[in-house]
Structure 1
Amino acid sequence: MKPKVRLKRIYDKPNPDDGFRVFVDRLWARGVTKEAARIGAWAKELTPSDELRKWFHEDTSRHAKFEERYLMELEERQGETEALINSLRTHATKTLVTATKDLVNGHSVILLRYLSKRL
């Protein structure tokens, strides 16, 4: 059975079904305490670089190119990526947690697909 990886907003109430929760934003979410968020790990080193993030936010229609560039950044961070993957492998269910409103076009869904392929 393939391991389950989910994506959820940090503002949604934590659920025991979330399993191991990994926060995947560079900056901590406003108005949420770390205790209330029940985060097992914070993968801020696997978020898009400031340069890439700003470039994308200038024109979000560049999503395909953003994804391509972000995946290249993830490949350049193999040590951090492998460390997270090894940590995730020890949990049956994992939930990536983000403050991002857009769960379809943001970096978190790209990271979800990237990690899911490697687990």
Structure 2
Amino acid sequence: MIKLKRVYEELSPEDGYRILTERLWPRGVSKERANLDKWMKGVAPSHELRKWFDHDHEKWDEFKDRYRKELFGSEAVQELIDIIKEEESITFVFASKDEKHNSTVLLKEFIEQLLSD
């Protein structure tokens, strides 16, 4: 249902509605190049959590727990779910080099679980 894509990858018609899920704008990418439909800073980890994690894989499990707590009951998450229900195709766009250990991967899992309940 929800696809993931790095902001540095080429745009594709299959992307559908593109949502940047980062709190900070990706380095070296113009708004034209990013070609986003929406930038949702509110679904990204807080500045404090992002700085604490600092892409340290040893903190991954704790980061997952802390981030889920931030997402639970968030108005931004509800807005995101409303968008997903309206669109045929959704792609969460992220900047991280690590395509497996980043907040957007967790966000996708969190949203898909909410939608399946």
TM-score, normalised via structure 1 length:
0.89
Structure 2 distance, partners of 1:106, 1:66, is 10
- Deviation per CA, 1:42-95: give whole Å up to 9, x if none: 111111111111111174311111101100000142x11101110111111110
CA RMSD of aligned residues (A): 1.4
CA distance in 1, matches of 2:35, 2:56: 33
- In the TM superposition, structure 1's runs of 4+ consecutive aligned residues that sit over 6 Å from their partners are none
Q: Which runs of 5+ in 1 are unaligned?
A: none
Match of 2:107 among 95, 104, 111: 111
Structure 2: tracts of 5 or more residues without a match: none
Quickly say closer, same or farther: Cα 1:91–1:115, change in 2 above 3 A: same
Give the Cα separation in 1 of the matches to 2:33 and 2:100: 25
Name the SS of the counterpart of 1:8 in structure 2. strand
Distance 2:51 2:105 in 1: 18
User: What is the SS of the residue equivalent to 1:13?
Assistant: coil
Aligned residue in 2 for 1:84: 80
Q: Distance in 1 between matches of 2:56 and 2:32?
A: 35
State the secondary structure of the residue aligned to 1:71. Answer: helix
Identify the residue that residue 45 of structure 2 maps to in structure 1.
Answer: 48
Percent identity of the aligned residues?
37
Which of these residues, 1, 5, 11, is aligned with residue 2 of structure 2?
Answer: 5
Measured after TM superposition, the shift of residue 15 of structure 1 is 0.3
Tell me the matched-pair count: 115
C-alpha distance in 2 between matches for 1:68 and 1:105: 13
